[in-house]
């Protein structure tokens, strides 16, 4: 299942489901499809909880328990509701409005400079060395790396 693959690759990922082109299906069929998706998501999340019961393992989270945000692409219906949901979801994120440590800001700036210079990747040792130049190592290195990944920097 795609949620299990996401859990394995990005533990703790948070996602929101959206169904588009709702204008292309009858209301009853849409309700049934959304119900089936939500049920499948709940089943998968239950499985993930069972096999990742170790404390400290972040689990994938699905906004509103797998309820799909419905969008009518022809009329734009649901877009404002989706936008509001995304904003509210972002406001609830763990790091929203947190002041970043100086070392994190420095590392983020260095990565952004690499990208501006055309760099697309670096190996892990180079990443550790770059982080070390900002004073990051140990558990703070891991936390910063996770944060920069979650915010799309790395």
Using one digit for the tens of pLDDT, what is the confidence trace for 134-149?
999 888 999 999 889 8
Mean of all residue pLDDT scores within the chain: 89
What is the reported pTM?
A: 0.61
Name the band, by pLDDT with cuts 50, 70 and 90, for residue 55: low
**Terminal Cα-to-Cα distance of the chain (whole angstroms):** 25
Please tell me the predicted confidence (pLDDT) of residue 137. Answer: 85
| Cα angle for residues 11, 17, 23 (degrees, 5° grid) | 165
**Chain segment 71-125, per-residue pLDDT in tens:** 998 999 999 999 998 898 888 877 677 788 999 999 999 999 999 999 988 999 9
**Chain segment 97-106, per-residue pLDDT in tens:** 778 899 999 9
Please tell me the predicted confidence (pLDDT) of residue 110. Answer: 94
Tokens at residue 118, please?
Answer: 């055309």
**Rg of the chain (C-alpha set):** 19
Tokens at residue 14, please?
Answer: 């948070």
**Chain segment 5-41, per-residue pLDDT in tens:** 888 888 888 889 999 999 999 999 999 999 999 999 9
Please tell me the predicted confidence (pLDDT) of residue 130. Answer: 95
Furthest-apart CA atoms within the chain: distance in Å: 58
Phi/psi at 52 (5° precision)? -120, 40
Residues linked to residue 61 through DSSP beta bridges, in sequence order:
14
The answer to whether residue 53 scores a pLDDT higher than 80 is no
């Amino acid at each position: 299942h795609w949620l299990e693959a996401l859990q394995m690759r990005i533990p703790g990922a948070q996602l929101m489901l959206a169904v588009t082109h709702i204008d292309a299906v009858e209301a009853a069929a849409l309700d049934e499809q959304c119900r089936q998706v939500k049920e499948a998501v709940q089943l998968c999340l239950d499985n993930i909880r069972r096999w990742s019961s170790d404390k400290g393992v972040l689990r994938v989270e699905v906004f509103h328990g797998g309820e799909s945000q419905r969008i009518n692409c022809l009329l734009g219906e649901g877009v404002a509701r989706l936008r509001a949901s995304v904003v509210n979801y972002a406001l609830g994120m763990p790091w929203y409005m947190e002041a970043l440590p100086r070392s994190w800001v420095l590392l983020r700036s260095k990565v952004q400079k690499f990208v501006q210079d055309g760099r697309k990747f670096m190996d892990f040792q180079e990443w550790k060395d770059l982080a070390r130049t900002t004073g990051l190592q140990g558990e703070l290195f891991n936390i910063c790396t996770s944060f920069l990944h979650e915010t799309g920097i790395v």
